[in-house]
Chain A
């Protein structure tokens, strides 16, 4: 099993989809898999980027952004999904759109066993919280899946999470 050779193309493709669908707010808790996407968004003057102390803040913030007429997206690692649970009730009750881009841990070649409990329950937790879940596990699929999810969330006023499979990120070499 060979590690994907950087630079990856799909983070840039997610940024391009954000521009295409008019995303103007990005809230994030950093994840290694989102490094390039966060850099691209921060370099764009038309996008407000907000670094959060916890993912739960981003759910409320993007609801506020939508109240004010702006489309946004929330970037996080799968461990952050657990931090969002009760706040997702606001999204469901008020019919807010919400685009979550979640990089997965604890599901494929994970070196840190502590990541497995949340990684393995991420999809179920989202679905139980009223969030529609879509996945991309191949680099070639990322652009289309994110575009489809973004289009659907803003046209339906319902939350959608795109789970980016850990296989996309590749193995972390833990021997170093």
Chain B
């Protein structure tokens, strides 16, 4: 097992801080724990992915390109991001100025029995993002860092990546809303008004 810092941050504290700072930002979660966490403060500007593992970052890119005046924040897990690994390269090459990509990284597949992910075995997502042309990329370990890094997610302009290391604490689902068409329509109506029906 590679030697690395012990993660102490709690995932719900991290998600709570992100949601508290959201302002008018548009948020996309990944499937699994980040989806369940985001419901602690539900908002129509959050798109909850319950499926499509690997979708979150690219969905964020499409949304960011469609809404260049809004900050888009993708909050996903390490397993989900690893499945959509190519998105690092595609997003870095496109370099949108209004996208923040956040991985809440517990280094495990917590939905399926806590098997370790590659981030537990030495794969450094912040280094990957840096190598893929993200101008700002950091790993976050402490509450102190979190206090400055979370507002930075929304400060823009720019393309950011943050790998936030959390412990393996699990929580019950904070959201019961699962119907994909409903989640999509609610998001679009709130963002686009009558244009949602064009």
Contact = CB atoms under 8 A, between A and B. Distances in A.
Interface in A87-106: 87, 89-90, 93-96
Interface residues of A, number: 33
B62 interface: yes
A60 B58 contact: yes
A87 B47 CA distance: 16
Given A50-B94, A69-B195, A89 B65 contact: no
A55 B64 CA distance: 19
Contacts of B47: 67
B180 A57 contact: no
Size class of the contact patch on chain B: 35 or more
Contacts of A61: 58-59, 61-62
B62 A63 contact: yes
Contacts of B59: 60-61, 63-64, 67
Interface stretch (B9-17, B85-93, B163-171): B85-93
B90 A48 contact: no
A65 B184 contact: no
Contacts of B184: 67, 94-96
A52 B86 contact: yes
Interface in B29-67: 47, 49-56, 58-67
Contacts of B1: none
Contacts of B66: 24-25, 64-70
Interface in B136-182: 180-181
B187 to A, nearest CB: 6
Contacts of A93: 50-51, 180-181
Nearest to B65: A48
B56 to A, nearest CB: 8
B196 A69 contact: yes
A56 interface: yes
A90 B94 CA distance: 23
Given A25-B66, A56-B54, A68 B191 contact: yes
28 contacts: A25-B66, A50-B65, A51-B90, A53-B86, A53-B87, A54-B86, A57-B86, A57-B90, A60-B54, A60-B62, A60-B84, A61-B58, A64-B59, A64-B62, A65-B62, A65-B66, A67-B62, A67-B187, A69-B191, A70-B62, A72-B62, A90-B49, A90-B51, A93-B51, A94-B180, A94-B181, A94-B183, A95-B184
Interface of B: 26, 28, 47, 49-56, 58-67, 84, 86-87, 89-90, 93-94, 180-181, 183-185, 187-188, 191-192, 195-196
